[in-house]
C-alpha cells in the first residue's frame, strides 16, 4: 500500500511540475483584440463608449449580472469618468477610468479587476472612418501575472474574452445602425 501511495505522489508531483512549467512558458502579456465594421459615423458610436452609463445598452458584461452594484464618479463622460462594479462570480469587482477620450476616434481606459482575480489592463477603442461607416476596434492589453498564465494552461483567454468583445461590438453595431 505504501508503494502505491508513493507512486501516486510521484505522478502527482510530476503533473504539478508540468503544469507549472507550461504556465511559465506562457506570454507575460495578455492581448485580446476584436474589430467590426459599422455602417454608422464614429460620432454616433463614440458617445456610447465614452459615457459609462451608456454601457448598459451594449456591453455584454452588463448582462452577466443585471443586479450588480454600479457606481459612477468623476466626469460624467470622457476623460476622468469612472465606473466601478461589484457583482457575482460572473463579473467580480473592478473599476474603469477613462484616461483619454479623443472624439470621435479613440478612448483609452484603465481597467482594474479586483475579484475574482486581480488584474490591471488597458482597454482601447478606436474608431476609424471606413467608406460610409466606421471600423471599430476593441483592444485589451496588460501584464499577465503568474496566476493568469496558470489559467492559460487550462483555458484560452483570447477566445473567452474575445467572445465577449465580439458580442459587445455586435451590440454596438445593432444599436448604432438603426
pLDDT tens, residue by residue, 119-178: 899 999 999 999 999 999 999 999 988 888 888 888 888 898 999 999 999 999 999 998
Read off the pLDDT of each residue in 71-85 and give the average, rounded to a whole number.
97
Query: Which of 15-19, 32-36, 76-80 is least confident?
Result: 15-19
Give this prediction's pTM.
0.86
Assigned CATH topology for domain 2-176:
Alpha-D-Glucose-1,6-Bisphosphate; Chain A, domain 4 (3.30.530)
Read off the pLDDT of each residue in 89-112 and give the average, rounded to a whole number.
96
Tens of pLDDT, residue by residue over 1-12, are 889 999 899 999
Amino acid 108: pLDDT: 98
Share of the chain above pLDDT 90, in %: 74
Read off the pLDDT of each residue in 26-36 and give the average, rounded to a whole number.
93
Task: Give the CA dihedral 10, 13, 18, 24, nearest 10 degrees.
Answer: -150
Amino acid 178: pLDDT: 85
Provide the edge-to-edge strand list for the sheet that holds 29-38: 29-38, 133-143, 119-130, 106-115, 93-102, 81-86, 69-74
Which residue ranges make up each domain of the chain? 2-176
Tens of pLDDT, residue by residue over 50-77, are 999 999 999 999 989 989 999 999 999 9
> Which cell goes with 9?
505522489
Amino acid 1: pLDDT: 83
Amino acid 25: pLDDT: 86
Distance from CA of residue 134 to its chain's centroid?
A: 21
Amino acid at each position: 500500500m505504501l508503494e502505491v501511495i508513493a507512486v501516486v505522489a510521484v505522478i502527482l508531483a510530476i503533473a504539478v511540475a508540468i503544469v507549472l512549467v507550461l504556465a511559465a512558458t506562457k506570454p507575460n502579456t495578455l492581448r485580446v483584440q476584436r474589430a467590426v465594421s459599422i455602417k454608422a459615423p464614429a460620432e454616433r458610436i463614440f458617445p456610447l463608449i465614452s459615457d459609462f452609463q451608456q454601457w448598459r445598452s451594449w456591453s455584454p458584461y452588463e448582462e452577466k449580472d443585471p443586479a450588480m452594484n454600479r457606481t459612477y464618479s468623476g466626469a460624467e463622460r470622457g476623460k476622468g469618468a469612472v465606473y466601478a462594479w461589484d457583482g457575482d462570480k460572473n463579473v467580480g469587482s473592478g473599476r474603469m477610468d477613462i484616461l483619454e477620450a479623443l472624439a470621435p476616434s479613440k478612448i483609452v481606459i484603465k481597467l482594474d479587476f479586483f475579484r475574482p482575480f486581480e488584474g490591471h489592463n488597458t482597454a482601447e477603442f478606436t474608431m476609424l472612418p471606413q467608406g460610409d461607416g466606421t471600423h471599430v476596434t476593441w483592444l485589451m492589453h496588460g501584464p499577465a501575472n503568474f496566476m493568469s498564465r496558470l489559467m492559460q494552461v487550462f483555458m484560452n483567454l483570447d477566445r473567452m474574452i474575445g467572445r465577449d468583445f465580439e458580442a459587445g461590438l455586435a451590440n454596438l453595431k445593432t444599436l448604432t445602425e438603426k
